[in-house]
Structures are given as structure tokens and as C-alpha cells.
A and B are shown apart, each in its own frame.
Chain A
Amino acid sequence: MENLKEKIQAIAPSAVFEENTQVLTVDVDKNELHQLAENLKNDESLAFDYLQDIIGLDLGDALGVNYRLFSTKNNNQALVVKTKTDDRENPTLHSVSNLWQSANLYEREVYDFLGIKFIGHPDLRRLFLRPDWKGFPLRKDYDIESNPVTLKNESVEEFEGSEKLELDSNGHIKESNFQLFDDKDYVVSFGPQHPSTHGVLQLRVSLNGETVKHIDPNFGYIHRGIEKMCESYTYPKILHLCERLDYLSAAINRHGFCLCVEKALELEVPERAVYVRTIFDELTRIASHLLGWASMANDMGAITAFIYGMRDREKIMDIFEETAGGRLFTNYSVIGGLMQDIHPNFQKRVKEFIPYMRKMLKEYHTLFTNNPIAKQRMLSAGWLKIDDAISYGVTGPSGRASNWHNDIRKIEPYAAYNKVNFNEITRENGGSFDRYMVRLDEILESLSIIEQLIDNIPDGDYKAKTKPIIKLPEGEFYQRVENARGDFNIYINSKGDKTPYRVKFRSPSETLVSALEPTVKGEKIADLIMIGGSLDYVIPCIDR
């Protein structure tokens, strides 16, 4: 740790280390940022190769940016680099998108929400909002009413090109234009309404016959402004918005937010609640993987497999419904514990479900996995190398299929995960078939986790006592959880009020979509859809 601090100090003399933070946090001047980032990434002894998230926030007099870095080689050492712009009127920063591929979308997102221009970014367009949107919504002085509903179509030119800021040799900023596609390209647009984009995502694809040449995802068709809404909501209210981000891992996201608040409050959660939450998380994971499997099969044209997946998912919905009352959204974890105690039938139903699911998994393999067409298609396309996976930030089952050990349940165990034995499922090759198999194998692993917990749920309270109005102490809080799609991170910046100052959710799906570019290039259109299915992203989580 001290060694790391010294090294950073040597590279960036202006660096100031913050005290009393959850993770090692360093403040640097914006002019030294790029230098530091380059060293952090390329220095073998530091090797911060995974840029997890870029968090932009409005600091009042200036705009701040937090870079959250991890070193996958050095025991997942975490580091937060903070910097801020000079002013609000013309905020500029140096882009780090040449170092980490994941920065590409994150910087566009920060530009979209806060208006910080990144010098050297190859393609600085708005990410979520329309090109003709006025203002930057996450600034504190943004007027909510400033953009009424319009039925004017977006102009294609505006989201296919943008101005680009670059530094010339003298250090001056020069503007140039950026064009996405050539005039001669045959560009096909998949979405926003398309059966296989898993939501309202637009993929603009230039084709050479059936082969994909270039792909450009266009987000924002379900951008609901959740992060801005969180700033005016109390913490228990935000829980509901968390569920609606990645609705397939609803319980896990909600659990994550509860954990973050509980950590900030230093609240002790009863063991019973911890166990039940973990079981709910794993059930949610199974349900999500089932749907992922089903919709991937559907993308490849096997509709029967889709119906089978949905059929077995209903069994989990039944268990949820009996205990929590909700199907898709369980509304079950609350700050301090659980909404109510488990239903008397809960354990029995779950224990019935485990052998049933194991049997059904075998059927899935007979029906779909071992089908010659399916197997051949999955084995022949969509390779993602481990370096790309880390650089693009592809976490979760998709990252593990590329042999990246990134399971947060193992790295930073939360809830009851350090009390159970389970394997982190990884595979070597990083192809579509590997991603597919990781998901199915994880269902088995989740079943074994549940099996270990279900009989050992301790007696006692299901909820700790909390104050009627929850106020978080001042500070910045992070909590990572492993949701069904990967590394879901919650960032809360509190000023000590009953509402947060800034909340940021790291969407694992966002990086999954950005990883389409390296995986899909040179493959066929049919594989584009199949690879999309194998990455298994959820669009509302990206758009937030």
C-alpha cells in the first residue's frame, strides 16, 4: 500500500491521498491525470488494467470525475483517482480512452450528463440523450422542464458524426470532424424496435454482404434518468428504482444498495436476513440465467427452448411470490434486513425446486446444447480474448468465459458467500459456447449454494432496527455485488442528508454491449444476434 502511494506521488507530485475512505483515494490535478493514468496502466508493478467505472459529479464550482481502477494482476488492488475541471463553462479533461477501452463509453456518458469534453476522445457524441437535447441533466442547475416531449425524428447525420477535440503538437486544442460510416457503406439498423436486441437498443451495422464490418450501438431509448431521480429521493425509496435497473437481477441490485447503505451506517444485519438474502440472490441468478438461456435459444430460432426456459422460470416466480408477494420485483430486502419473514413453505418449496432444476438442466443439454446446429453455430463465432475482456470491462459470466476470474462473490465476499463452498466457473476460450456454458454451469453452482444455506437459516430477527429517517454520514461509499450480468457497483456520495448528493450505478451490461465491436467484427449477421444473446445484456440497466 505504502509502496503504491510512493509510486503515485513520484509520477504525479500534486497527488493528495484522502483520509478515512473505504478505498484508497487519490486527488490529482487534471493536467497530471493522463500521465498518471498511463503509468498506472502500463507499469508492470502497478498494472491497473481494469477501469471499472468513471463517475462524473457536479461539485458546485467545478465538475469532478472519479476513475475507479482495479488491478487484476495484483490481487484486485483497488484505487480511486479523482480529478476536477477548472470551471463549469468550458470543462475539459484529457481522455483515457486510448488506455482502457471501457473508457470510451464512460467518457461519452460523462459528457452526456455533465458536459465535460474529453480531449482526444475518438467519438465524443451524446450517449443516452438525443443529439438535439438541451442542457446536461446531472448538473445541479439543470431545469427538468427544459426538454418537452417532441415527435420530431432524430436526424441521422447528427448521431452519425460529431466534432472531435484533439491536441496538436503545440498543445493547442484543435477541432476536427468525426464520421461514423463511409458514404458507400451498406448500413442496416437493428432496433430500436427489434425482436432480438433484448430491449430498445439500436445497433447500426455496416455490412459487406452478410458480414459485419462495423457496429455502432446507440443507447438511450429507455434512459429514464434514474440517477437524477435518486438525488431527490430518500434511501428507502431508491431501493425501488434499483430493482428497475436490471430487472432480471432485481433482488441482487436491491440487496447491493441495502449493503451499501448498511455499510455506511455501520448497521449490523441479523444472520437470518443475510442467509435469506443470499438464497434470494441465487434464485434470482438462476431465473436470470434461465431467461438468458431461453432468449439466446430464441435468438437462434429455437422457440421451443425459449418456452422451456420460461416454464421453469415460473417455478422460481412461485417461490418469490409466496414469500415476498412479488414476481419479477420481490421488494424483499430493505435497509437493515428483510421486508417480512419467510413463508413457512419457503424451505420446502426451494428444496423441491433444486432436484427439479437439476433434472431440467439435463434436458436443456439434450434439447439444445447437444443439437448439432446449435453447437456448431456457437462454437464457430464470437471470440473474446481475456485482454479485451478486461480492457472492455466485460465482467460476469461473459468475462469468466474468457478465463478472467472476476467473481465478486469470491473477490470481495459479501452476505453469506464466505460461509459456503462454491466454485467460480471459468472457461478457457472466450467463445459464444463458453459464455453459454458458463451460464448453465452457474445455475448448478447456484443450486449448490442454495442447498448449503437452505437448511441452515438461523432463527432470530429478520430485520435490524433502523431510524425512521435514514441519514447517511458524509462521505463516498462503494459497494460491488455480483449480479447476473457481472460487476454491479453502487456509488453513493452523501453530504449527510436524508437524500444522496449523487448516486451512480455501474451497469455491467453497458460494457457487454461495447464488447460487441471486437467480438462481432467479421462475423455474419446471424451471429451478431447470437453473440448478443450469448453476452446477455439488459438494456434498461445500461440506460438507467
Chain B
Amino acid sequence: MFDFKIVTSWIDNLLRVDLGLDNFWTLAIEFILVGVALLAAYALIALVLIYAERKICAFFQCRIGPDRVGKWGLIQVIADMIKILTKEIIPIKRSEKLLFFLAPFFVIIGSFLTFGALPFAKGLHAIDFNIGVLYILAVSSLGVIGIVLAGWSSNNKYSLIGAMRAGAQLISYEISAGLALMTMVVLAGSMQLSTIVESQADGWFIFKGGIFALVAFVIYLIAGHAETNRGPFDLPESESELTAGYHTEYSGIMFGFYYVAEYTNLFIISAIATTMFLGGWMPLHIPGLDGFNQVMDYIPSAVWFFGKCAFCIFLALWVRWSYPRLRIDQLLKLEWKILMPISLINIAAVAVAVTI
């Protein structure tokens, strides 16, 4: 299987040996390269996801979806982005100016930082922390600050209600999501994402971990879905109640940030689920079937990773387009009375099982 380490170490070698740069400059150039690559991936993934969601949603709704701009409407999203980039940004008269303009960046930075730690393919990894899971949990919850700030600073009642809902919702569901991931950490015995992926070489956790992993996976999907603020958990935005929720007052590119972050968050949640439960970029291996395993190894690791992500995203879209929105009390009841107790029991059970 192709290891992306070959590429990265070649670049490193090129800079250090062939160009003879010292350590500082090598690192500086590498950081910039990684940054640009991640930014490009970020934008590309958002574009693809927006297109995919429109087409899939159209499919669910007996419609066609975008099909006039480019072949099959493929460049529709680019037109949208051009439009959003050139729209006027309206400063709101009685808003908290600094916070108002800062808020979208929190959301973007929150999701962007997570990108750095995701193992996209074998060896394709910006930073491999030994506390990767903890890091991902920490930075992915930065977004809630952006949402609450947006609601608070907009000087709009809808936004404020949306922000309060977001605060309650995201912080609650963070717990279940974290506990579900911890279950997997207990199974893997490590918080390092690369180790977790490697330890699934002989079978993904969802198969290996038995009932515990399955429960954790379902809980993580629900909680993760809730963290992306998408239906049926789109209470902070709830279009039919609060017009556009926390980002009611945002226009132009500021709104574009929220719009894009929604999709990249969806990708991030799916990517984490893939890494922790579905074996990351690890191909499907069935112990005992060597021929089958070898064939599976020929498929590049990136395809495995993105394929599994696509599967999780499709699940999320399926739910989003067929379920109505929850109400705030139902939402909190689901978390505090159902998901959290189950995940606590689950993690305790796993700990016992692993010790035995």
C-alpha cells in the first residue's frame, strides 16, 4: 500500500539536503505548504459536499437538483461561492462590532484546526499528536464560541435565542461524543490517532469491539450530528422558527463562513467516526482470507478513508432530509436522560471487559 510518508520525507529531504536550508527555514516552508494544502482541501471538501448534499437531497425529494450550470450542475457551487464572496457585508448599527466580525472566524478556525490532526491516508497526516483524540475534541468545540458570540453580538432577538440554544445543545452533546470516543480509546489503549488506526489492521473496531463499539458508534453518530447543527438538530438555526437563527444578521462572506463551516463540520464528524470506528484508511481485512485481504490492499488508502467518510455523510444526509426538527426540551432529554447514561454504562463495561 502506498505510504504518503515517501512524499513528505522527499519534500523534507529536498529542502534540507538539496537546497541546504537550515532547520528554521525548512520548517517554515513546510508549514506554509501544509497550510496551503489543508486550505485547499478544506475548500474543495466544502464545495464537493455542498454539491453532494444538493444532489442527494434532490434525489430524496423527487427533484433533479442543480443541472444547468456546467455538466450536471457540477460548477454550480463555484458560482455560489463567487456570488457569496462579492456580496456586500452589512455592518449592523447597534451590534458589538468587534465580536460580530470575530465570530465567524472562531467557527472557521475551530473546524480548520481539526483538519490538521486527521489522518487522511497512510502517512498523510499534518501532526500526529500522542493525545490526538483529546486535541480533536478540544478544538472542534471551539466553534460553539463563534456561534454564541454571533448570537450575542448581533443585537437581534432571533440570533440570541439561537445562540442560547446552540450553547445548551453543543455543550451537552459534547459529553456523549467525548464518552463514545473514549470507549474506543479504552479499546485501542492509545489516544494517538495513528496508533488507533494501526490497531485496526486486523479488523475495524466496529467489528472487533462487539456490542460496545456498535453502541458507541451509534451514540457518536447522533451526538456528532447534533454538533454539526444540522437537521434534525438544527435548533440554533431552525429556519422555520428563527428565520436563520444565530447568523440572521450576517451577509456576504461572513455568512459564507458559516455556510462552509457547516459542511466541513459534517465532514470532520464523519472523518472522526471513520478513524475511530471504521478503521480510518485501513482496508477491510478479514482474518483468514489472505487473497481477499491482498486485493483490498491494492485500493489506495485515501480511497478507503474518503469512501468511509462518504458513507457516514450519506447517513447524516439521509437522516437530515427525512426527520423533522426536535424541540429544545426533547433535545436535552435525549442527551441527558438517554445518551449520556448509556455511554457511561458502555464505557464502564468496556473498561471491565478490557481489564478481564
Segment of A44-52, A163-171, A295-303, A460-468 engaged in the interface with chain B:
A295-303
**Which residue of A189, A210, A367, A526 contacts B325 across the interface (Cβ within 8 Å)?**
A526
Is there contact, CB below 8 Å, between A373 and B232?
Answer: yes
Report the Cα distance A305→B232, complex, angstroms.
14
> How far in angstroms is the closest Cβ of chain A from B156?
10
Q: Which residues 372-423 in A have Cβ within 8 Å of B in the complex?
A: 373-374, 376-377
Contact A195 B240 (CB under 8 A): yes
How many residues on chain B are close to A (CB under 8 Å)?
28
**Is A311's CB within 8 Å of the partner chain B?**
yes
Mask, B322-336, CB within 8 Å of A = 1, is: 111111111000000
CA–CA, A301 and B161, complex, Å: 17
Question: Assuming A207-B161, A307-B61, A377-B327, what are 18 further A-B pairs, CB within 8 angstroms?
Answer: A195-B239, A195-B243, A196-B240, A210-B161, A210-B165, A297-B324, A301-B234, A301-B240, A301-B323, A302-B323, A302-B325, A311-B62, A374-B324, A524-B327, A526-B238, A526-B327, A527-B327, A529-B241
A-B contacts, 27 of them at CB < 8 A, read: A186-B157, A188-B161, A207-B161, A210-B165, A297-B324, A301-B232, A301-B238, A301-B240, A301-B323, A301-B325, A302-B322, A303-B61, A304-B321, A304-B322, A305-B324, A371-B322, A371-B323, A371-B324, A373-B325, A373-B330, A374-B324, A377-B330, A524-B327, A526-B238, A526-B325, A529-B240, A529-B241
* B143 contacts A by Cβ under 8 Å: no
Closest to A367 in B: B322
Instruction: Knowing A210-B161, A307-B62, A377-B327, say if A301 contacts B231 (CB, 8 Å).
Output: yes
Q: Is the CB of A373 within 8 A of B241?
A: no
Query: With an 8 A cutoff between CB atoms, is A339 at the interface?
Result: no
* Contact call A526/B324, Cβ cutoff below 8 A: no
Q: Which residues of B contact A298 (CB under 8 A)?
A: 240
Give the distance in Å from the alpha carbon of A373 to the alpha carbon of B158 in the complex.
Answer: 24
**Nearest 10 pairs of A and B residues by beta carbon:** A301-B325, A302-B324, A300-B324, A307-B61, A196-B240, A526-B327, A301-B324, A374-B324, A188-B157, A299-B240
Query: How far apart are the CA atoms of A304 and B161 in the complex, in Å?
Result: 26
With A373-B330, A377-B330, A529-B241 known to touch, is A188 a contact of B158 (CB < 8 Å)?
yes
With a CB–CB cut-off of 8 A, which chain B residues contact A186? Answer: 157
Closest to A375 in B: B324
Q: Shortest CB–CB separation between residue B249 and chain A, in angstroms?
A: 15
- Tell me which residues across on chain A come within 8 A of B243, comparing CB atoms: 194-195
Query: How far, in Å, is A301 (CB) from chain B's closest CB?
Result: 3
Q: A188-B161, A195-B240 are in contact. Are A303 and B321 (CB under 8 A)?
A: yes
Cβ of B60 within 8 Å of any chain A Cβ, yes or no, is: yes
CA A371 to CA B61, docked complex, whole Å: 17
B83 within 8 A of A: no
Q: Which of A494-544 contact B (CB under 8 A)?
A: 524-529
The chain A residue with its CB closest to the CB of B244 is A195
A298 to B238, CA, bound (A): 11
Closest to B235 in A: A526
* Complex interface: chain B residues within 8 A of A529 (CB): 240-241
Collect the chain A residues with CB atoms within 8 Å of residue B321's CB.
303-304
Write out the residue numbers on chain A whose beta carbons fall within 8 Å of the beta carbon of B323.
Answer: 301-302, 371, 373
A-binding residues in B (CB < 8 A): 57, 60-63, 157-158, 161, 165, 231-232, 234-235, 238-241, 243, 321-330
Q: Which residues of B contact A196 (CB under 8 A)?
A: 240-241
Min distance, Cβ A49 to any Cβ of chain B, angstroms: 34
Could you tell me the dominant secondary structure of chain A's interface residues? helix
Q: How far is the CA of A302 from the CA of B61 in the complex (A)?
A: 11
Q: How far is the CA of A120 from the CA of B327 in the complex (A)?
A: 40
Q: How far, in whole Å, are A288 and B53 apart by their CA atoms in the complex? A: 30
A residues in contact with B232, CB < 8 Å: 301, 373
Query: Are the C-beta atoms of B240 and A300 separated by less than 8 Å?
Result: yes
The smallest C-beta distance from A369 to any residue of chain B, in angstroms, reads 11
Find the A residue at minimum CB distance from B242: A525
> B62 contacts which chain A residues (CB < 8 A)?
307-308, 311
When distances are taken between beta carbons in the complex, the residues of chain A under 8 Å from B61 are 303-304, 307-308
Report the separation of the CA atoms of residues A524 and B235 in the bound assembly, to the nearest whole angstrom: 12
Select from chain B the residue with minimum beta-carbon distance to A189. Answer: B157
With an 8 A cutoff between CB atoms, is A368 at the interface?
A: yes
Residue from the set A210, A311, A526, A528 with the largest chain B CB neighbour count within 10 Å = A526
Quote the shortest CB–CB distance from A530 to chain B (angstroms).
8
B324 & A368 in contact (Cβ 8 Å cutoff): yes
Residues of B within 8 A of A377 (CB): 324, 326-327, 330
Could you tell me the distance between the alpha carbons of A300 and B158 in the complex, rounded to whole angstroms?
17
Q: How far is the CB of B332 from chain A (nearest CB, A)?
A: 11
A528–B238 CA distance with the chains assembled, in angstroms: 13
User: Contact partner of A526 among B231, B322, B328, CB < 8 A?
Assistant: B328
Bound together, the chains give a CA A258 to CA B104 distance in angstroms of 59
**Inside 8 A of A195's CB, which chain B residues have their CB?**
239-240, 243
